[in-house]
């Protein structure tokens, strides 16, 4: 709650601006009245108080932060569900208590210090990085705040900071606590364990009718039929209105010539190169080549393997050294070059194979080009088609009539729930913007013409709800097969857990794990070096947590990760880490612990101040502040 107070001096203006950007200008229009009317304070402690305006600013700041966290604007109803009102009240109450304590202590701030803090605020820096009065006036004017209001609030924050720093400066995390944390985290364990398989209690006999009915009656809500909706939709994207038949052969030919490179595979050559340490070595190698020695033999004499000299089968643009590229593409197949001054030294290039340029003929790609041209045209007229559809609906045409006029397809989903499932359990596939469309369908009603949903930047989907089947309870006969399967699974798990619990008690009573393993036909396993919070492949993270929840020689049971048995275990060894001093805890964690200790101390101080200065909350004023 008080973490922001400790850093308020350095971040105050940034947070203020963030909150003010989302505040209605209507609030600012009545701010004078709200600030000066004592009866309209949201909360107060002694002579310190929070106005309706300040409460609304703090509330909007929290709304904005939460909206950024979730990536969508949080509504008032959602904020209430998150308990945001009370959170803001508690934060502001802490500030008011600090203000009242500062007043009693006689704390203040000199004009010079206030000016320094204002000048240091990054929000008011000009292009040269220093305080700029014009920037100061501009920022405050943009948010509708007077300079004197800013200075008053800035002074208030700085005075609070004096109390906070006095209470928390010098606090450090005790070495003993850090050592215990290092011991706790670094401990590893050895366990012996055996799997109690599900097969020990299977097969489970079919339940009697009365047992099944009773079990179902207790869980009717789990088997209820959800609300289903019937709806129709029309998708409008370039694909839906593209007409390849309208594209002429002449247009296709022109497009082919304009983008011929797209249908051309450039010539490629298999290139080898030998890089020499000196020009003299390169000249000697060239003489050997001219005398008839093979390129690979010359490379071998230079200490190069075939892998060393292989550059690859590449197009000219793919060869990074332009000199090598020019030489390689000037040679005939099997030829070698003169000595080249390459990027890494003298080089001789050899071309062992040539793959000629291949151009796809127009006949092979005409259909593709025709489709692309049709899509381009469809994209161009998409908004015109959208407007024509809307005009048809506004003129009284039904969805089907408007779609038919524009040669669009109406698709109807007879029944679907919020999770895109049909009554038979199959998922409705290929719905455009499935999640958003279903959400909109279930937020709408029958006989309502809805605004279309945007399909990213590519089109629209129009939809109408045609029928609603309310959710209802199902009878046992409707879901008998599923209920029997669920009952069997639950009964199996219960019997297995009881069986494993019996073996666990026998282990505690002195029976060895080897005896139990032999009795159930399983092999005892040993797991060494288990670390706390590990996600072991055989035990699972939850299983490891159970292992670390008991002392040395302790026993326990837990479900195995495959969920086909229970694991019965005994801790046989516990080892402390070799090094477990305060330095074993990472610096960032030590800093977090120190911040947590400081916050705890501040919380205690605020609680003490609550007893000293009772806080009064005016909830009527609070609700009035939130109504603007």
Count of structural domains, the chain? 4
Give the long-range contacts of residues 247-251, CB within 8 A, separation 24 or more: 247/370, 247/373, 247/374, 247/377, 249/366, 251/373
Query: Rounded CA gap, 62 and 433, in Å?
Result: 31
Q: Verify that 427 and 313 share a domain, yes or no.
A: no
Whether residue 41 contacts residue 619, with contact meaning beta carbons closer than 8 Å, is answered with no
Q: Verify that 501 and 458 share a domain, yes or no.
A: no
- Assign residue 299 the CATH number of its domain: 3.10.50.40
Nearest by Cα to 96 from 619, 618, 616: 616
Q: Residue 556: inside a domain, yes or no?
A: yes
Q: Verify that 397 and 532 share a domain, yes or no.
A: no
- Assign residue 98 the CATH number of its domain: 1.10.4030
Q: Which of 553, 575, 597 is a domain's end point?
A: 575
State residue 176's pLDDT score: 85
State residue 245's pLDDT score: 93
Q: Which of 356, 384, 401 is a domain's end point?
A: 356
Nearest by Cα to 165 from 157, 173, 176: 157
State residue 246's pLDDT score: 93
Q: Residue 71: inside a domain, yes or no?
A: yes
Q: Residue 249: inside a domain, yes or no?
A: no
Nearest by Cα to 286 from 342, 345, 339, 344: 339
Query: Rounded CA gap, 486 and 492, in Å?
Result: 10
Q: Residue 583: inside a domain, yes or no?
A: no
User: CA torsion sign, 450 to 453 to 459 to 462?
Assistant: negative
Q: Verify that 154 and 25 share a domain, yes or no.
A: yes
Q: Verify that 151 and 42 share a domain, yes or no.
A: yes
Cβ-based burial of 112 (10 A; exposed 0-12, middle 13-18, buried ≥19): exposed
Counting as low any pLDDT under 50, the low residues of the chain are: 1-36, 38
Largest CA distance in the chain: 108
Q: Verify that 441 and 486 share a domain, yes or no.
A: no
Q: Verify that 348 and 403 share a domain, yes or no.
A: no
Q: Residue 252: inside a domain, yes or no?
A: no
Q: Which residues pair with 410 in a beta bridge?
A: 234
Q: Residue 598: inside a domain, yes or no?
A: no
Q: Residue 362: inside a domain, yes or no?
A: no
State residue 39's pLDDT score: 57
Q: Verify that 59 and 140 share a domain, yes or no.
A: yes
Query: Looking at 238-331, which runs of residues are DSSP E strands?
Result: 264-265, 268-275, 310-315
Q: Which of 329, 356, 383 is a domain's end point?
A: 356
Q: State the residue range of the domain holding 399.
A: 228-244+375-469
Query: Rounded CA gap, 235 and 453, in Å?
Result: 10
Q: Verify that 453 and 525 share a domain, yes or no.
A: no
Q: Calculate Rg over the CA atoms of the chain.
A: 39
Q: Verify that 45 and 145 share a domain, yes or no.
A: yes
CA distances (Å), origin 187, targets 180, 513, 568: 11, 24, 21
Q: Verify that 329 and 431 share a domain, yes or no.
A: no
Q: Verify that 351 and 447 share a domain, yes or no.
A: no
pLDDT digits (tens, 9 = 90+) for 434-466: 999 999 999 999 989 999 999 877 899 999 999
Q: Residue 297: inside a domain, yes or no?
A: yes
**What residues contact residue 238 under an 8 Å CB cut-off, 6+ apart?**
375, 378, 379, 382, 458, 459
Buried-exposed string 605-621: b where 16+ CB fall within 10 A, e elsewhere: bbeebeeebebeebeeb
What are the structure tokens assigned to 355, written together?
């793959």
State residue 151's pLDDT score: 85
Task: Sort residue 456 into left (φ over 0), alpha (ψ -120 to 50) or beta.
Answer: left
């Amino acid at each position: 709650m008080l973490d922001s107070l400790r850093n308020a001096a350095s971040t105050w203006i940034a947070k203020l601006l963030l909150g003010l950007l989302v505040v209605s200008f209507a609030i600012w229009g009545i701010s004078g009245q709200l600030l000066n009317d004592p009866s309209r304070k949201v909360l107060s402690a002694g002579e310190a108080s929070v106005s309706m305006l300040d409460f609304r600013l703090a509330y909007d700041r929290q709304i904005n932060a939460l909206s950024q966290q979730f990536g969508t604007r949080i509504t008032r109803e959602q904020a209430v569900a998150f308990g945001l009102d009370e959170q803001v009240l508690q934060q502001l109450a802490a500030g008011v208590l600090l203000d009242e304590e500062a007043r009693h202590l006689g704390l203040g701030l000199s004009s010079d210090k206030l000016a320094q803090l204002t000048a240091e605020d990054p929000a008011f820096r000009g292009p040269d990085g220093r305080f700029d009065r014009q920037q100061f006036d501009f920022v405050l004017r943009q948010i509708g705040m007077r300079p004197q209001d800013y200075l008053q609030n800035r002074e208030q924050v700085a005075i609070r900071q004096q109390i906070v720093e006095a209470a928390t400066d010098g606090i450090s995390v005790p070495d003993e606590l850090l050592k215990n944390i290092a011991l706790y985290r670094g401990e590893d364990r050895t366990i012996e364990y055996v799997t109690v398989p599900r097969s020990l209690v299977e097969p489970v006999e079919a339940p009697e009718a009365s047992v099944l009915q009773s079990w179902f009656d207790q869980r009717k809500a789990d088997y209820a039929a959800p609300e289903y909706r019937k709806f129709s939709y029309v998708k409008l994207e370039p694909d839906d209105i593209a007409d390849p038949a309208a594209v002429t052969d002449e247009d296709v030919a022109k497009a082919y010539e304009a983008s011929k490179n797209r249908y051309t595979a450039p010539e490629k050559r298999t290139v080898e190169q030998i890089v020499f340490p000196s020009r003299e070595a390169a000249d000697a190698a060239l003489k050997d080549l001219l005398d008839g020695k093979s390129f690979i033999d010359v490379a071998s004499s230079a200490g190069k393997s075939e892998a060393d000299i292989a550059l690859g089968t590449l197009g000219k643009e793919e060869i990074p050294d332009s000199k090598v590229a020019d030489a390689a593409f000037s040679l005939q197949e099997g030829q070698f070059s003169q000595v080249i001054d390459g990027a890494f030294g003298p080089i001789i290039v050899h071309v062992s194979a040539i793959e000629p340029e291949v151009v796809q003929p127009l006949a092979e790609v005409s259909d593709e080009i025709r489709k692309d041209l049709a899509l381009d045209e469809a994209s161009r007229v998409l908004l015109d088609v959208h407007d024509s559809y809307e005009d048809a609906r506004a003129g009284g045409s039904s969805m089907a009539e408007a779609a038919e006029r524009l040669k669009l397809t109406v698709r109807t989903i007879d029944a679907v729930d919020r999770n895109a499932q049909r009554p038979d359990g199959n998922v409705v596939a290929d719905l455009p913007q499935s999640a958003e469309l279903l959400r909109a369908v279930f937020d709408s009603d029958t006989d309502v013409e809805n605004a279309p949903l945007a399909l990213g930047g590519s089109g629209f989907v129009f939809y109408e709800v045609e029928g609603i089947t309310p959710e209802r309870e199902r009878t046992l006969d409707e879901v008998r097969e599923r209920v029997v399967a669920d009952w069997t699974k639950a009964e199996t798990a219960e019997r297995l857990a009881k069986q494993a619990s019996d073996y666990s008690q026998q282990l505690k009573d002195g029976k060895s794990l080897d005896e139990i393993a032999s009795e159930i036909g399983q092999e005892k396993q040993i797991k060494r070096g288990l670390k706390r919070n590990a996600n072991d492949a055989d035990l699972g993270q939850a299983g490891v947590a159970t292992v670390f929840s008991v002392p040395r020689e302790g026993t326990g049971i837990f479900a195995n990760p495959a969920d086909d048995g229970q694991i019965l275990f005994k801790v046989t060894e516990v080892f402390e880490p070799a090094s477990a001093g305060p330095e074993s805890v990472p610096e960032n964690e030590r800093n977090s612990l120190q911040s947590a200790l400081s916050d705890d101390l501040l919380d205690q101080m605020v609680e003490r101040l609550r007893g000293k200065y009772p806080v009064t909350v005016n909830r009527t004023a609070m609700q009035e502040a939130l109504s603007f």
